[in-house]
């Protein structure tokens, strides 16, 4: 079984338990005040395994399913026996990295909470886009296939827009920070990734 599917099963199971038991969500949700003042650092990771509602969970897990398999295939080719380790580092640190800005910004605001796997999922999505920027993708509700790098630009714009009308406890900026981690990670572990990204795009014109 692929790592993506295992992560999806675990995340769905914990999220469903959270839908039935709000106290579980309270223990796992990202609360910067608790992270800083109560030293509950685990929240920066566990928040990625609980979600706001069924649609939030479905969208994140669907994206992970679509892009995770592709990234795993690339990693198998690139890293061999270490492929699964690299994938876990990319995904789990994507969740953590995406929460760091909120720890800094909201460290003294006990009311602020966020949750969801967006940071980790975005790290997988953007790693996939760096490796294969010309893959055709469709973004609902736009029924026109577009190159992955165009998708990324729209994805960034959507995340910024949704963050400005925040009110659902979903950390929309985690999309951007998680995506940034995905890019940084790929460049760090595979230095030719960025060169290959631009070469593929320029070669398409």
pLDDT for 41: 97
- Smallest CA-to-CA distance from 149 within 98, 90, 197, 87 is with 197
Q: Which long-range contacts (CB under 8 A, 24 or more apart) does 53-62 make?
A: 53/19, 54/19, 56/116, 56/168, 56/170, 57/11, 57/12, 57/15, 60/11, 60/116, 60/117, 60/118, 60/121, 61/8, 61/11, 61/12, 61/117
Of 121-130, 145-154, 168-177, 183-192, least confident by mean pLDDT is: 168-177
DSSP 53: S
Q: Determine the length of the chain.
A: 205
| DSSP state letter for 109 | -
- The pLDDT tens digits for 50-66 are 999 999 999 899 999 99
Encoding tokens for residue 114? Answer: 């966020």
Taking only the tens place, the pLDDT of each residue in 159-204 is: 788 777 765 556 678 889 999 999 999 999 999 999 999 999 998 8
Domain count, the chain: 1
Look up the CATH number of the domain holding residue 39.
1.20.1540.10
| Domain that residue 41 falls in | 3-203
Contact criterion met (CB below 8 Å) for 30 and 114: yes
How does pLDDT run across 23-33, given as a tens digit for each residue?
999 999 999 99
Confidence of residue 143 (pLDDT cuts 50, 70, 90): confident
Residue 170 has a pLDDT of: 60
Exposed/middle/buried for residue 13 (C-beta within 10 Å: 0-12, 13-18, 19+): exposed
| CA nearest neighbour of 100 among 180, 15, 7, 187 | 180
């Amino acid at each position: 079984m692929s790592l993506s599917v295992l992560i999806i099963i675990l995340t769905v199971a914990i999220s469903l338990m959270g839908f039935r038991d709000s106290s579980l969500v309270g223990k796992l949700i990202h609360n910067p005040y608790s992270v800083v003042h109560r030293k509950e650092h685990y929240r920066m990771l566990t928040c990625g395994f609980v979600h706001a509602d069924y649609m939030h969970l479905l969208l994140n897990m669907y994206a992970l399913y679509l892009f995770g398999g592709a990234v795993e295939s690339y990693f198998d080719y690139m890293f061999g026996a270490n492929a699964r380790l690299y994938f876990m580092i990319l995904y789990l640190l994507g969740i953590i990295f995406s929460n760091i800005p909120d720890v800094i910004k909201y460290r003294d605001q006990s009311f602020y909470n966020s949750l969801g796997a967006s940071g980790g999922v975005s790290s997988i999505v953007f790693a996939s886009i760096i490796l294969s920027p010309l893959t055709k993708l469709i973004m609902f509700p736009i029924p026109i296939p577009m190159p992955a790098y165009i998708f990324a630009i729209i994805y960034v714009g959507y995340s910024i827009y949704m963050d400005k009308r925040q009110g659902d406890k979903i950390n929309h900026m985690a999309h951007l920070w998680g995506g940034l981690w995905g890019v940084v990670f790929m460049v760090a572990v595979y230095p030719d990734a960025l060169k290959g990204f631009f070469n593929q795009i320029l070669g398409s014109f």
